[in-house]
């Protein structure tokens, strides 16, 4: 049995892809910047006052009835007109009265302390497109944080979400092509600083426009692109556009941080289990912020993205992913594949036991990786095969991986062993002694073979630590 970690069928099984679901049930796509929102300073005099204009489900007519937003058909256009092939970033501000015309954002099940229509129009202008306004639904009943299924691999590498762990956000949000849902936990719309909520709405409105463009104009990304890179550029795109929005309209959160500042802080301070997703938001936004002259260029960046998360983290100029094919020779074990994890997941795993700077340095130079799972009954073992750009990078990772394995093995009460089957390949063997104690690895030119004895047989002194060229 052999496979390549570039197989599209296996990408969604990466830890980062699995963690997206965890993020949605713990923090939402976007939401409160910290556990407890603080009072927001009064707006400066040059800040547009209409940001704080309350938005309701409809606008009262002279007869005293509520008129639903978006009923005037005179401004409708075709989707092809709204999404031209080439767009430009729009400069300047929206001056039209947001309470006039057809394209208004309707708010259901509550009111908001911000003018959602104005925020939506500003996001449209920044992206240089027109789109259908969504419905914003307020859910004051809170959200279920969810309980993740056990994941032995995540537990072994230090990325399992601890029981009861959460990010303690006071509210969360999720946006799709036709709606934005705001979920409030132990708080109300009146308790959230208007500027924080405006930034959250701007983020979700980017997703509304992304989804509408995808639905009507075709895929945003090349079909073969890694799922983690898609997430990084999708969520990072929303953070980046919101950053431009915040800069243009003078919006910051209570402590003065901009959206990218906030994501950077999250990446520095949050626990390892959420770092794979936190990295996608932060590095995706940073990648776009460093390379685009304005949000109108976002669609072009999506059409020509970096191939891996290494490219998102380090930018243009990194080497393409090295070839890597893993073969398993393990009678009695059920062998499955998890798909490429990426530099960001490797870095997050190392951070569970090593200082942040050490983890970042050790993960730099990543060339490709492929975790392989070996299951027998209740036992689950893993061989995390990592190929490096050169022998020096592999040396640095091997040293860090041995320190990680020593500490992690004590933490989980399991067996972890590092082996170096070639000058450019390092493998982390993890799991029960029945697997780790019998496994051996050989490698040459990106072709790696993991061999293990049948379950129940332990042979401690198997070859596999010796280095060979490749």
Q: Are 451 and 441 within 8 A, CB to CB?
A: yes
For 55-59, 151-155, 264-268, 411-415, which range has the lowest pLDDT when averaged over its residues?
55-59
Residues 91, 118 within the same domain: yes
Q: How many Cβ atoms sit within 10 Å of the Cβ of residue 314? A: 18
Same domain flag for 283 and 410: no
237 and 369 co-located in one domain? no
Give domain status of residue 278, yes or no. Answer: yes
Q: Do residue 192 and residue 77 come from a single domain? A: yes
pTM score, two decimals?
Answer: 0.79
For the stretch 319-346, pLDDT in tens is: 899 999 999 999 999 999 888 999 999 9
Rounded average pLDDT over 106-117: 93
Q: Does 467 reside within a domain?
A: no
Total domains, the chain: 2
User: Which residues constitute the domain of residue 188?
Assistant: 11-311
| pLDDT number for residue 188 | 73
Residue 463 within any structural domain of the chain: no
Q: Do 216 and 363 belong to one domain?
A: no
336-359: average pLDDT: 96
Residue 68 pLDDT class (50, 70, 90 cuts): very low
What is the pLDDT, as a whole number, of residue 252? 77
Q: What pLDDT is attached to residue 458?
A: 53
The residue length of the chain stands at 470
Q: How far apart are CA 457 and CA 283, in angstroms?
A: 45
Task: Kindly give the pairing relationship between strand 135-139 and strand 179-184.
Answer: parallel
* pLDDT for the residue 72: 31
Based on the fold, state whether residues 436 and 348 are members of the same structural domain: yes
Q: Is the domain of 174 the same as that of 40?
A: yes
Q: How confident is the model at residue 256 (pLDDT cuts 50, 70, 90)?
A: confident
- Please check whether residues 324 and 307 belong to one and the same domain: no
User: Given a cut of 70, is residue 91 above it in pLDDT?
Assistant: no
In a domain, 3, yes or no: no
The whole-number pLDDT of residue 44 equals 32
Range in 115-124, 139-148, 292-301, 367-376 the model is least confident about: 139-148
Among 77-81, 247-251, 429-433, 463-467, the least confident range? 77-81
pLDDT of residue 410: 83
Question: Are residue 285 and residue 377 in the same domain, yes or no?
Answer: no
pLDDT at residue 46 above 70?
no
- Rounded Cα–Cα distance for residues 425 and 397 (Å): 10
Same domain, 228 and 356: no
Higher pLDDT, 397 or 179: 397
237 pLDDT more than 90: yes
Who has greater pLDDT, 361 or 90?
A: 361
143 found inside a domain: yes
pLDDT value at residue 20 = 40
Kindly state whether residues 305 and 355 are assigned to the same domain: no
Are 324 and 306 found together in one domain? no
Phi, psi of 252 (to 5 degrees): -135, 165
Distance CA 116, CA 106 (A): 8
**Domain boundary at 311, 344, 361, which?**
311
Q: What is the mean pLDDT of residues 392-401?
A: 98
Q: Is residue 5 part of a domain?
A: no
Tell me, what's the pLDDT at 13?
45
The verdict on residue 376 lying in a domain is: yes
Checking if the pLDDT of 167 tops 70, the result is no
Q: Reduce the secondary structure of the chain to three states and give it as a string.
A: CEECCCCHHHHHHCHHHHHHHHHHHHCCCEECCCCCCCCCCCCCCCCCHHHHCCECCEEECCCCCEEECCCCHHHCCCHHHHCCCCCCCCCCCCCCCCCCCCCCCEEECCCECCCHHHHHHHHHHHHCCCCCCCEEEEECCCCCCCCCCCCHHHHHCCCCCCCCCCCCCCEEEEECCCEEEEEECCCCHHHCCHHHHHHHHHHHHHHHHHHHHHHHHCCCCCCCCCHHHHHHHHHHHHHHHHHHHHHHHCCCCCCCCCHHHHHHHHHHHCCHHHHHHHHHHHHHHHHHHHHCCCHHHHHHHHHCCCCCHHHHHHCCCCCCCCCCEEEEECCCCEEEECCCCCHHHHHHHHHCCCCHHHHHHHHCCEEEEEEEEEEECCEEEEEEEEEECCHHHHHHHHHHHHHHHHHHHHHHCCEEEEEEEECCEEEEEEECHHHHCCCEEEEECCEEEEECCCCCCCCCCCCCCCCCCC
pLDDT of 139: 83
Residue 459, in any domain of the structure: no
């Amino acid at each position: 049995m052999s496979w390549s970690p570039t197989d599209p069928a296996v990408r969604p099984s990466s830890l980062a892809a699995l963690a997206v679901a965890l993020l949605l049930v713990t923090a939402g796509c976007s939401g409160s910047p910290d556990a407890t929102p603080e009072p927001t300073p009064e707006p400066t005099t040059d800040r547009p006052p209409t940001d704080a204009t309350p938005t309701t489900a409809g606008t009262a007519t002279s007869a005293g009835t509520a008129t639903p937003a978006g009923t005037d058909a005179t401004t409708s256009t075709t989707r092809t007109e709204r999404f031209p092939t080439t767009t430009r970033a729009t400069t300047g501000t929206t001056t039209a009265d947001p309470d006039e015309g057809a394209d208004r954002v309707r708010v259901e099940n509550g009111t908001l302390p911000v003018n959602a229509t104005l925020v939506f129009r500003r996001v449209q202008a920044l992206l240089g497109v027109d789109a259908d306004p969504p419905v914003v639904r307020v859910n004051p009943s809170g959200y279920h944080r969810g309980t993740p299924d056990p994941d032995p691999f995540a537990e072994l590498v230090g990325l399992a979400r601890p029981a009861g762990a959460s990010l303690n956000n006071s509210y969360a949000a999720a946006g799709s092509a036709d709606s934005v849902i705001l979920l409030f936990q132990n708080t109300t719309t009146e308790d959230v600083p208007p500027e924080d909520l405006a930034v959250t709405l701007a983020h979700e409105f980017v997703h509304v426009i992304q989804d509408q463009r995808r639905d009507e104009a075709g895929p945003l990304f090349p079909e073969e692109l890694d799922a983690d890179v898609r997430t990084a550029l999708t969520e990072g795109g929303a953070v980046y556009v919101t950053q431009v929005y915040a800069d243009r309209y003078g919006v910051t959160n209570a402590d003065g941080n901009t959206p990218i500042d906030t994501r950077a802080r999250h990446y520095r301070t949050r626990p390892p289990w959420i770092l794979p997703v936190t990295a996608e938001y932060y590095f995706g936004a940073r990648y776009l912020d460093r390379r685009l002259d304005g949000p109108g260029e976002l669609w072009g960046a999506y059409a020509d993205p970096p191939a891996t998360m290494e490219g998102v983290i380090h930018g243009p100029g990194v080497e393409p992913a090295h070839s890597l094919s893993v073969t398993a020779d393990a009678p009695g074990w059920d062998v499955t594949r998890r798909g490429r994890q990426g530099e960001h997941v490797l870095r997050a795993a190392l951070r569970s036991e090593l200082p942040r700077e050490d983890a970042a340095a050790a993960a730099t130079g990543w060339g490709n990786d492929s975790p392989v799972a070996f299951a027998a009954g209740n036992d689950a073992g893993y061989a995390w095969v990592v190929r490096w750009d050169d022998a020096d990078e592999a040396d640095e990772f091997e040293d860090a991986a041995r320190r990680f394995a020593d500490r992690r093995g004590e933490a989980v009460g399991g067996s972890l062993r590092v082996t170096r089957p070639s000058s450019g390949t390092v493998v982390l063997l993890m799991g029960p002694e029945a697997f780790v104690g019998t496994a051996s690895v050989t490698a040459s030119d990106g072709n790696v073979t993991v061999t293990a004895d049948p379950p129940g047989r332990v042979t401690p002194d198997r070859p596999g630590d010796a280095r060979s060229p490749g």
